[in-house]
Structure 1
Amino acid sequence: MAMKNTHKLVLSAVIAALSAGASADNHKFEVHADFGRTFFEEPLEDANTWGLGFGFVLNENWTLDAVASRYSTETQTGGIDADGTQYRLDALYHINTESLWRPYVAFGVGDQEIEWDNDESHRDTLLNLGAGVKRNLGGNWEFRTDVRAFNSLDNEYTDLALNAGISYLFGGSPAPVKAAPAPAPEPEKDSDGDGVLDSKDQCPGTPKTHKVDAVGCSLKLTETVSIDLKITFDTAKAIIKPEFEGEVSKLATFMNQYADTVVTVEGHTDSQGSDAYNQKLSQSRADSVKAALITKYGISADRVKAIGYGEAKPVADNASASGREQNRRVVGQVSTAVTKTETK
């Protein structure tokens, strides 16, 4: 009778397994075949066991497991053959982990019938407690192994069993089909190579050597440039000495470079001589420099002003020879604001 029930369970499990499939992390049912070894406390010899089970998944942690198993053995004394059949209902609590191995603890209750060769039999109600681990093998297949202790409520003995088996998982919703990934967008271009993408570049074609702002336009730097003129003259003379020709030349070069500039050259004298004489001499000195800029270096006349101040603006003490030499001078200054493009 027990063997007939086992055959029915096997047939039902096979039909269920073939009817549907599910992914390992999305299933509702599982069928497993187990093989193991039972170590009897007494009076039976240890025996190999096999069994079939059907599991119903409650949630990601809990599964209810109905199991039928068989074994054949003999008594430790007398050598009487015995066939044992177990039916039990277990609860498995799975411990979630990030690894492929998923441990669990199990407990349950069941019925065991042992049939002897002499046509006698007896039944036990068994409580079991154990721990095991599962590992997904890919697809719908899973490996499982556990160790169980079975305690008889009727005859007060405890047996130990080691089991290993293969499970087939099924009955869940089909695994979602992943949509084809959207084509990667084409990378944006930076056509002029200034470091700003074309979509943001408001100044296309900027030279690569220019520093640019956030919208790709060249950065401008405005600064003031200037040049000073300072030459001295011999006593009572208005002739530019050869050693100061370079100073006049540098002033002319600056003014040619910056065409919007205008210079005022100021002539001065020391305190020797009358005021009227010194005024005339200072003007002659200023006019001498103006004439050099115009005739020798091509500066337009309307860009040069010449003013004589006589002895009215000394820069040193006229009581000494060195002080008077410093006062016999022509000075001038030119400055302008220049905007430059910043480069890398």
Structure 2
Amino acid sequence: MANPSAKILTLSALIAAASTGVSAQDHTAEINLGIGRILFGNDLDDTNNYHLGLGLPISDRWTLEVVANEYDADAQETGVDVRGTQYRLDALYHFGDDQSWRPYAAFGAGDQRLSPEGGDPSHETLLNAGLGLKNRFARNWEWRTDVRLFNSLDEEYTDVVFSTGISFLFGAGETRRATPAPEPVAAPTVIEEADSDGDGVLDSKDKCPGTARQYKVDSEGCVLKLTETVSINLAVKFDTNSAVVKEEYMSDIRDLATFMNQYENTQVTVEGHTDSSGADAYNKTLSQRRANSVRDVLIQRMNIEADRVTAVGFGEERPVADNNTVEGREQNRRVVGAVSTRITVNETRD
């Protein structure tokens, strides 16, 4: 078997020869320190390994590396400690142009020395091949990981090795590729002003872009506002000498509550009235009870806040029909309320 020192000299000579005529790269050289895990194909127990490598880029995609690798493992049958030392020359081919994440393929050859404790050392020639990935996380620093197969030409077994490590890149960023010639400048193109939202105001003057087309806008493209009054009326009728709210009026009271919930700044005064039957004082009290009944429905069943509802009884003081007729007295036995508020809405196109 050839002397391992001679193999190391041969590998170094190959590196030196490959450096002749190397073009300027992203970096000039790199040193790599890493660890790994060896899954042996022979009679050694799996173990960790440590490696140190020196790399030389020879083109955009190719790098040559000299690697020294060392590990300690136990023989499976005897338990004897075996120290392994490798020296090899590898070639790495990189895929793609992205320097941040770059996959690569690796292959190479070298010498392995196995030194069992208390025994004579032996040498083997190893071939290796595998795939890996590099990540440039800083200008001069790179993380890499790969998995490789190592085949012994002498003993005909194959190891699997997983490794990871950190590389320092010498001269990274100091050389640059030639700047390409600038593209010819095209003649300026005259662009007509646009009205992107179709509101009739050009984009250059539109201070409210994206306005919906159904709204009227001013000269700056902003929606015109319209203030208007909205209102709702309530009228609840009662039987003679009764303050009970009939179920048939619940939907009308619910409509009033919905209106008040929609416009939260509103308040309502419900006014109770009677016909002229009975004494004035009794009618005053009855009208107040009727107003209170409607107020209680709004608060307790419709969940309107109590401070937004006021109840007032007017007795027979404000008739709306003739108390001398049955129909008139029916019209006068009532509770009424009205709510209105001013709102601002967007003005729409015709």
Higher Cα radius of gyration = 1
Instruction: Tell me the TM-score normalised to structure 2 length.
Output: 0.45
